[in-house]
Amino acid sequence: MHDFHLGVLAVLGICIAGGVIGAWIFQKIKMPQVVGYIVVGVLIGDTGFGLLHPNDIEALQPFNNFALGLIGFLVGGELSGSIFKKYGKQFTLILLGEGLAAFSLVGIFSTLIVYFVCHDWITAIAAGIVFGAIASATDPASTIDVLWEYRSAGVLTTAIVAIVALDDALAMTLYGLGTSVATILTQGGGDSVGMTLLHTFKELFGAILLGVACGFVLDAMMQYLPQTEKRLGMSIGILLVCIGLSVAFNMDVILATMAVGIVLINRAPNRSKKLFEIVRSFSTPIYIIFFVLVGARLSLGNMPPWIWALVAVYVLMRSLGKWIGAYWGGRWSKAETPVQNYMGMALFAQGGVAVGLSIVASHNLQHIQVTPDLSLGDMIIFTVTATTLCVQLIGPAFAKLAITKAGEVGRNVTEEDIMAELKVSDVVDKGIIPLLEGTPLDTVVQHFAAQDTFVYPVVSSEGNISGVLTFDMLKELLTNRDTWHWLVVGDVMQPMRHKLVSTMNLAEALEEMSNNQVEALPVVENEKLIGVLDQRAARRSVGAELVRRKTVTA
């Protein structure tokens, strides 16, 4: 199958179309859509049917960096200074708790299993340190995607966004120290721990400084670009420059672009809000391709059977460490109860950062043999690949469970989101009594005076809708009250040119009414009149529903 190359464009098409189908299937079974993306990737990748050639996947690596950069930028846009001022201590303790707990538990148990296989404590300890460091990383992409998909908002959601955004820095620091110690143990030399730590800090702080510089440049340029489309173009251009420089100098892409977003949201919160919304609106196909390629890249062939025991222990201990560490970090920092109880289960996902660190570790430790047929480098690659597949499948589901338990699902919604969910029948006013064609106008005037409705449907004696009567139509007759006694509704009504069906989407109905410049329209169901949809009343109902969903209950 691998002798046939589809080409980059065909790969992109397969990723988007297949990802949409996979997301739709998994949403039907109440699973986050990101799981569907990854499963489709596994099926069409090397582990599945082999439709995507490894060379094609490798050619799209710059595209993956772009996706990670967008994720970092949007995450940074949610981290205002007021959040860190209020929750800084809490975030720090939770971050250290979940990262160090996962590092410790995975490191200890991985060491024991590897020693059982190779009977060499030095090799086993080196492997355990590297596994522990990699285990501390949390995938921000799939976790954030779950939060966006389910429109979550609240103290737990805020904490999750901050922790997964900062987790890269902790993971890379632990990894830098861990690989340095592992190299010293296995080779008796190499860079000192201090030099490795200095190199790691240079990468992390370099990424932050680069992002801050790009953020200030973007903020300055936005002041001279009032048009939304030009601001979007400038933003994407500067983000691409930031991503490209990060890759060129081996800096963390997510941290760099996250710094851009943080600078922008704190220096110009009102001006940048619309920009973040636009970037998020067009990023869906990019995320789909990214997650499908994540699944396609996961190759599980030729793995020794005993590694699956190591995989199981890694997944279990990492999940336990994240859960326990986040809980105690929340307890020590006196975080809110939902953060203490549910934060840990939202941090199970493991993705690109862990895989990337495992690749680097495999190059450094390739010369060390665990068994005659397997090097330490290959063992790390196999294990992290398999564990990434496992936790990417369960991680989003647990993230959804966490925000559901905390009661934060559906709170980060807009009026447009609610209108897209509702139908005309949900907000139609069924209490309006239609007017008969033969009703005298003096009676009709009393109707308008007593009701808050400015549009009445008109029906014939047989009950069929024949037109509408609006308050504007009566204005011309207000100066001549004598006509009210001998004119009837049928004389002044307008034929009904437009009507709405009860099953119609509310957003589409309101758009149609705006396009036709009408304030209200009759609503029919099975060709029978059931009421009137008034734009003002409908928008009041949507506003009330928005307030209800955003209300935080104790």
- Range from 250-254, 306-310, 429-433 carrying the lowest mean pLDDT: 429-433
Average pLDDT score over residue span 337-361: 79
Residue 363: what pLDDT? 62
pLDDT tens per residue across span 199-249:
667 777 888 899 999 999 998 888 887 777 788 888 999 999 999 998 888
462 pLDDT higher than 70 = no
Spatial CA neighbour of 460 closest among 484, 438, 481, 491: 438
Gyration radius (Cα) of the chain, Å: 30
Q: What is the enclosing helix (H) or strand (E) of 386?
A: helix 376-405
Residue 550: what pLDDT? 63
pTM of the predicted structure, to 2 decimals: 0.65
Residue 445: what pLDDT? 66
63 pLDDT higher than 50 = yes
More confident site: 86 or 336? 336
More confident site: 254 or 97? 97
Residue 243: what pLDDT? 92
368 pLDDT higher than 80 = no
Residue 360: what pLDDT? 62
From residue 221, alpha-carbon distances to 174, 237, 268, 274, 524 in Å are: 37, 12, 12, 15, 52
Mean pLDDT comparison of 231-235, 250-254, 508-512, 541-545, highest-scoring range: 231-235
What does the alpha-carbon distance between residue 499 and residue 532 come to, in Å, rounded to a whole number?
9
Residue 239: what pLDDT? 93
Average pLDDT score over residue span 6-18: 81
Mean predicted lDDT score pLDDT of the chain: 78
CB atoms within 10 A of CB 444: 23
What does the alpha-carbon distance between residue 116 and residue 126 come to, in Å, rounded to a whole number?
14
553 pLDDT higher than 60 = no
CB atoms within 10 A of CB 76: 27
Whether the Cβ atoms of residue 38 and residue 292 lie closer than 8 Å to each other: yes
In percent, how much of the chain has pLDDT > 90?
Answer: 11
Spatial CA neighbour of 168 closest among 349, 356, 353: 353
In percent, how much of the chain has pLDDT > 70?
Answer: 80
What does the alpha-carbon distance between residue 271 and residue 267 come to, in Å, rounded to a whole number?
9
Q: What is the enclosing helix (H) or strand (E) of 327?
A: helix 305-332
Mean pLDDT comparison of 103-112, 275-284, 442-451, 507-516, highest-scoring range: 103-112
pLDDT tens per residue across span 126-168:
888 888 888 888 877 788 888 888 888 888 888 888 888 777 7
What does the alpha-carbon distance between residue 132 and residue 125 come to, in Å, rounded to a whole number?
10
Length of the chain: 554
Spatial CA neighbour of 382 closest among 110, 59, 11: 110
Residue 108: what pLDDT? 93
> Which two three-digit tokens encode residue 303?
């793995």
Average pLDDT score over residue span 48-65: 76
Average pLDDT score over residue span 375-397: 80
Residue 36's pLDDT band (cuts 50, 70, 90): confident
Mean pLDDT comparison of 48-52, 113-117, 168-172, highest-scoring range: 113-117
More confident site: 187 or 73? 73
More confident site: 43 or 192? 43
Domains, the chain, in order of start with CATH, read 18-24+34-412 (1.20.1530.20), 418-550 (3.10.580.10)
> Which two three-digit tokens encode residue 136?
């501390």
Pairing of strands 374-375, 369-371: antiparallel
More confident site: 3 or 64? 64
Whether the Cβ atoms of residue 192 and residue 180 lie closer than 8 Å to each other: yes
Spatial CA neighbour of 258 closest among 73, 80, 66, 81: 73
What does the alpha-carbon distance between residue 204 and residue 191 come to, in Å, rounded to a whole number?
18
48 pLDDT higher than 60 = yes
pLDDT tens per residue across span 270-305:
778 788 888 877 788 887 887 788 777 766 666 677
pLDDT tens per residue across span 78-122:
777 776 777 778 888 998 999 899 999 999 999 999 888 888 888
Phi, psi of 488 (to 5 degrees): -120, 170
What does the alpha-carbon distance between residue 245 and residue 261 come to, in Å, rounded to a whole number?
17
What does the alpha-carbon distance between residue 404 and residue 524 come to, in Å, rounded to a whole number?
37
From residue 317, alpha-carbon distances to 98, 339, 420, 422, 429 in Å are: 12, 21, 42, 44, 57
Residue 447: what pLDDT? 65
Residue 328's pLDDT band (cuts 50, 70, 90): very high
Residue 1's pLDDT band (cuts 50, 70, 90): very low
More confident site: 353 or 220? 220
Spatial CA neighbour of 314 closest among 422, 204, 390: 390
173 pLDDT higher than 50 = yes
Pairing of strands 500-501, 520-525: parallel
Helices (H) and strands (E) in the chain, counts: 24, 9
From residue 253, alpha-carbon distances to 118, 135, 203 in Å are: 37, 19, 10
Residue 554's pLDDT band (cuts 50, 70, 90): very low
Q: Which stretches of 250-319 are assigned E, i.e. beta strand?
A: none
